[in-house]
Amino acid sequence: MALFPCVVGNHKYAGPQQSVYAAALNGSFAARSKMRLCPDHLDAIGTWLESHIKLIAVGEKMVDDTWGGADKCYSCQSVDIKWQLFANVYKKGMPQMDYYGASCTDHLDAFREELRLEL
């Protein structure tokens, strides 16, 4: 049973806690967030992540061993990368899912707002 409400809408839900840990890094600066989510909101954030940045690992298994990293902004494909984006998704009964991407400064806000990062 959840002890905390879902951070999206602040509503209570029955069931196990599921979480997303996110980070945006720029040099030595890091913005991080932890989100406790109901199943519906976890699925919505998972869908957003899958459509914007790359799933790189499920559990301890790399999804694509040949992938060398993000070299373009997830939104505009600019090579002027300022931010590295990370998200770890913990869904009940599933292995940890790790996402990685990059962003130019102009498109950081969508990632930041979706994953509630405070800069």
pLDDT of residue 11: 87
Confidence label for 13 from pLDDT (cuts 50, 70 and 90): confident
55-63: list long-range contacts, CB under 8 Å, 24+ apart: 55/97, 55/98, 55/99, 56/98, 56/99, 56/100, 57/96, 57/97, 57/98, 58/95, 58/96, 58/97, 58/98, 59/95, 59/96, 60/95
Instruction: Find the mean pLDDT for residues 82-86.
Output: 94
Instruction: Find the mean pLDDT for residues 55-68.
Output: 76
Residue 4 has pLDDT above 80, yes or no: no
* Average confidence score pLDDT of the chain: 88
Confidence label for 3 from pLDDT (cuts 50, 70 and 90): low
pLDDT of residue 14: 79
The proportion of the chain whose per-residue pLDDT surpasses 70, expressed as a percent, equals: 93
